[in-house]
Amino acid sequence: MRPLDIYEKDPSKRVTIYFEGTPLIAYEGEKISVALLANGIRWISISSEGRKRGAFAFGPALVKINGIKNKDARKTKVKDGMRIERQTYLEYQGSVEVDKSKLPEKYVIDVAIVGGGIVGIGATLELQDYLTVALIEEKGYLGGDMRRKSVPVKEFDNKEAKEVVKDLVEKFNENVKVFKGTTLLGIYRDGNLFLLSAAKGERLVEIYAKKVILATGAVDNFMLFENNEMPGVFRRDFALELINVWGVKPGNKIAVVGRKPEDIVPELERVGIEYIIVKNPKRVEGKESVERIIDIEGNVYEVDAVIMSDGRRPDINPITLVGGKIIFKNGAYVPVKSDKNEIIEGVYVAGSASSLKNHYANYLEGRLVARYILNELGVGVSIQELKEEFEKINEEIEEPLSQVDLSKLNLEETYICGCDVTLKSVVNVVDGGITNLQIVKRLTHLAMGFCQGRYCLFNGAVVVSKLSGIDMDKIDLPTARPPLKPVTMKVIGNE
Amino acid sequence: MRSEIVIIGGGIVGVTLAYELAKRGEQVTVLEKKYIGSGSTFRCGTGIRQQFTDEANIKVMKRSVELWKKYSEELGFPFKQTGYLFLLYDDEEVKEFKKNIKLQNRLGVPTRLITPEEAKEIVPVLDTSEVIAASWNPTDGKADPFFATTAFAREAEKLGAEILEYTEAKDIIVEEGEIKGVKTNKGMIETGIIVNAANAWAKLINAMAKIPIKIPIEPYKHQGVITQPLKEGQINPMVISLKYNDAYLTQTEHGGIIGGVGVEYGPTYDLTPTYEFIREVSKAFIKIIPVLGELLILRTWAGFYAKTPDSNPAIGRIEEIDEFYIAAGFSGHGFMMAPAVAEMLADLITKGRTDLPVEWYDPYRFERGELRETALQMG
């Protein structure tokens, strides 16, 4: 077994890859980032300003593969003999090969569902007997946050979360076209239809649909502490995926930080990973990756990984991308929607993209929205019973705002954005009297990088609000623009 | 409240004008319905060029570049003379550009026709396999619209100008041909002099003042793209290819490649980015510089070209209303013109005359049917 394998992998799939010249064991099907971590390698890339970076906090995971620069270690699968090297974000490939055989694929369907989590799965099951459905999922697996968990879910007969997903997906019929490993880039109006452009590997996919459901989920809160972006720091969702999808542990001794340790601790206990809970983290340190964490009181803990489990908030980028409005409610920005969950005409939202609640409530909401659409398209289905069941269990989770004490942190070493934007630079601008987040964005480059603010805008708003006294609901948040996720020019420009 | 002069529009044209007027000791107020630079200014492609095809624009841009240079040093914002490089692909284009270069040279702009090899020395990543020559002026350049605009605004304020953000002009009060004031969402401002610097929204302001002449300015949607940042100095000049969809592209201060193509929609006030644009801009950029194919696109966005029928702005005084001025309709090249336009208009307002050829931009030319030679409207 490799240093961080939780269990033995299928030896028939074993391949050899090389990282910075050193041969390592990997298994077919694994992503590069996962295979490297299993071998104990956390530092894989270098930020624009020369900071060491891993693949599981924020910022891109750009590496050189077989001499080709700018490859995404989180999306690229290992191959036997593959040579992987570190690079900085500012490098680019000196030659380009465009595969002209990979022309854009076109599909025309009734309903496009973005997000293959439990919400998208629930909606698909409701629609598939009457309509054609495209289910678009960025990851290589369906089930979203539930697929990343093994703990039992009481509303699903106490079955294990990932087993629930497996059972439901098996019910898909021939009306369902599943696009796994497919990244949504944009949603455009095209006459009476919506055109969804997406990238599946190097191929552009164009899906024309009458209706769209955004089952695009929530994003984990990114916590503010010193060196919070260094290799060895994990977002909760990445850590869960490593454990339950790949069978790899983030570390041998893990510090769990954040206000929601209960969202990760049961999974760590289940596979027997040693952990401690560290309240009030101030700083992490280490040469190439995390070696210790220090809290505000000055206590030092020797660990090799830190998992941030600090709650989630709806990913507002897909919402604002299509022109949906947002409001601040229960500690999060959430979409403004009609009583049928429509955010603009023809585009619906469901699940934790809509509001934060438990998996089962999300699942019911996905099904409910599908039924609204069925009725809208002339297939008469009953709503009442499902709606009552949903309303009975729908308890929205209140997300308290971060209580981070800026005065206790070295702001120059605390990162608010993966593109080398320090908390210091944002605080300086706001202290200088600029409280308009649109201008803060331009002055600091906050939210102008690879993630389009997905992991930093909220914290930006918190900082502005904290320092200026302006309410969170009065802050003008920048709108997401296509592409929703970065895509290479050759993929989108292939003729 | 009362102000001697009210400028409607807090984009680059409005704030540079406020700066020039305040410097001349005038009392001036800028009304901006959102925040400074929030219209087309922050959405623009950063380019500053003197390679125009008529005498007036070349003269104005020559002065503008002098001012960009002077003010970037005085006010401390980045302006770099990294040149403009027009790639030429056939004899027809070369002939046309030779003519332009001759005119530019006569007026003191040092443009040269260079070989594909020379072009490649300037931008090593260029694909010059189809290029037969290039038009190159090393004194053209680029500036950061955000830093430039805020620097002019701050300096104007230091000199006493008042800049009112989130203050929208709702109506203009004119009595017997004389301006009395502007009604805003935050109350009335009494004034005798108004400058319409609202560019894409200029027709709305003209309508408020009931301008009796036709000044056709319409908003068209144009779009921009930015890629992931690269190490400094990869694409220094603005590179232009009329052959590939009127593409323009360069590298920003921050390292990303910024640019656009000639995909245009309108007239419209819609700013939703389109699929056609992201496809076409990628196709064109890969043709011009193939290695851009491996770069990640981070964002596309849209802004307005406030277009006139000859792609030249309307700048001047409207005689029927005392005293109403317009500086709008910049048709895609307003950012670069702003410092010279501000100087020209400030002189016109305070002295009644200017040394720059303001008559080329005569607002009455449309009414008289005297359209100018169409100005090249790109970044």
This complex has an ipTM of 0.94
A228, A222 in Cβ contact below 8 A? yes
> Vertex B189, ends B162 and B15: CA angle to 5°?
30
Quick check: B87 and B129 in contact, CB under 8 A?
Answer: no
What domain count does chain A have?
3
Element (H, E) at A124: helix A118-127
Range of the domain at A23: 11-88
Could you tell me if residue A151 is inside a domain? yes
The DSSP secondary-structure symbol of B255 reads S
Of B38, B272, B282, the CB nearest to A489: B282
How many residues are there in chain B? Answer: 379
Shortest distance between the Cα of B222 and any Cα of chain A, in A, equals 14
Half-sphere exposure of residue B9: CA atoms within 13 angstroms, side-chain side: 28
pLDDT of residue B379: 58
Interface of A with B (CB under 8 A): 48, 60, 68-70, 88-96, 98, 185-186, 188-190, 195, 197, 323, 419, 436, 438-439, 442-443, 445, 448-450, 452, 481-483, 486-490, 492-493, 495
Judge if A195 and A124 occupy the same domain. Answer: yes
Cβ neighbours of A69 in B, within 8 Å:
294
Pairs of CB atoms within 8 A across A/B: 117
What is the CB neighbour count within 10 angstroms for residue A339? 6
Q: CA–CA separation, B252 vs B143, rounded Å? A: 9
- CB–CB contact B294 A92 (8 Å): yes
Burial of B369 by CB count in 10 Å (0-12 exposed, 13-18 middle, 19+ buried)? exposed
Structure tokens at A394: 């729908």
Interchain contact, B297 vs A452, CB within 8 Å: no
Which residues of chain B form CATH 3.50.50.60? 2-44+146-217+310-361
| pLDDT, chain B, mean | 96
Q: Are residues A46 and A117 in the same domain?
A: no
Degrees, nearest 5: CA angle B63-B67-B71: 180
Which chain A residue shows the shortest CA-CA distance from B295? A488
Q: What are the chain A neighbours of B247 within 8 Å (beta carbons)?
A: none
DSSP B169-228: EEEEEEETTEEEEEEETTEEEE-SEEEE--GGGHHHHHHHTT-SS----EEEEEEEEEE-
Answer whether residue A238 is part of any domain: no
CB atoms within 10 A of CB A166: 14
Q: Is residue A451 part of a domain?
A: yes
Q: Which CATH class name applies to B83-140+218-307?
A: alpha beta
Residues of A in contact with B145 (CB under 8 A): none
Q: Looking at chain B, which runs of residues are DSSP E strands?
A: 5-8, 28-31, 47-48, 79-80, 84-88, 112-114, 133-137, 141-143, 162-164, 169-175, 178-184, 187-190, 193-196, 218-227, 238-241, 247-251, 257-260, 296-307, 314-318, 324-328
C-alpha triplet A36, A40, A46: angle, nearest 5°:
60
d(C-alpha B330, C-alpha B341), whole Å: 11
Residue numbers of chain B with a pLDDT score lower than 50: none
In a domain, A99, yes or no: no
Query: What is the DSSP code (8-state) at residue A158?
Result: T
- The token pair at B51 is 């390679």
Strands B112-114 and B79-80: unpaired
Task: Please report residues of B whose CB lies closer than 8 A to that of A197.
Answer: 275, 278
**Residues of A whose CB is below 8 A from B38:** 438
| Sheet bearing A253-257, strands edge to edge | A233-235, A305-308, A253-257, A274-277
Q: pLDDT truncated to tens, each residue of chain A (495 aa)?
A: 999 999 999 999 999 999 999 999 999 999 999 999 999 999 999 999 999 999 999 888 999 999 999 999 999 999 999 999 999 999 888 877 777 677 889 999 999 999 999 999 999 999 999 999 999 999 999 999 999 998 899 999 999 998 999 999 999 999 999 999 999 999 999 999 999 999 998 899 999 999 999 999 999 999 999 999 999 999 999 999 999 999 999 999 999 999 999 999 999 999 999 999 999 999 999 999 999 999 999 999 999 999 999 999 999 999 999 999 999 998 999 999 999 999 999 999 999 999 999 999 999 999 999 999 999 999 999 999 999 999 999 887 777 777 678 899 999 999 999 889 999 999 999 999 889 998 999 899 998 888 899 999 999 999 999 999 999 999 989 999 999 999 999 999 988
Q: Which amino acid is at A493?
A: G
In-domain check, residue A209: yes
Q: What is the DSSP string of B1-46?
A: -B-SEEEE--SHHHHHHHHHHHHTT--EEEE-SSSTTTTTGGGS--
Give yes or no: residues A198 and A331 share one domain.
yes
A204 shares a domain with A130: yes
Helix axes A437-444 and A423-431, enclosed angle (nearest 10): 130
Q: Residue A285 domain-assigned?
A: no
What strands lie across the sheet with B79-80, from one edge to the other? B47-48, B141-143, B79-80
Half-sphere exposure of A391 (CA within 13 A, CB side): 7
Q: Pick the last residue of a domain from A88, A119, A136.
A: A88
One domain, residues A385 and A415 = no
DSSP A12: G
Judge whether A54 lies within some domain.
Answer: yes
Q: Which of B231, B234, B275 sits opposite A186 (nearest CB)?
A: B275
Contact A489 B279 (CB under 8 A): no
Least Cα distance to B346 among B197, B198, B167, B216 occurs for B197
In this structure, what CATH number is given to the domain that contains residue A381?
Answer: 3.50.50.60
CATH of the domain at A437: 1.10.10.1100
Q: Looking at the structure, tell me whether residues A127 and A191 fall in a common domain.
A: yes
Are A472 and A386 part of one and the same domain?
no
A343 with A377, same domain?
yes
SS3 B350: helix
CATH number assigned to the domain covering B2-44+146-217+310-361 = 3.50.50.60
Q: Cβ–Cβ contacts within 10 Å for residue A206, how many?
A: 17
Residue A142 region by backbone torsions, left for phi larger than 0, else alpha for psi between -120 and 50, else beta: beta
Q: What is the token pair recorded at A264? A: 């990760």
Q: Evaluate whether residue A306 is within a structural domain.
A: no
pTM over 0.80? The answer is yes
Q: How far apart are CA B90 and CA A38, in angstroms?
A: 57
The dihedral through the CA atoms of A341, A344, A347, A352 has a sign that is: negative
Residue range(s) of every CATH 3.30.9.10 domain in chain B? 83-140+218-307
DSSP state, residue B247: E
* Beta-carbon contacts of residue A157 (< 8 Å; ≥ 6 apart): none
Instruction: Give the three-class secondary structure for A347.
Output: strand
Q: How many Å apart are CA B223 and CA A257, to the nearest integer?
A: 43
| Residues ≥6 apart with Cβ < 8 Å to B310 | B365, B371, B372, B373, B374, B375
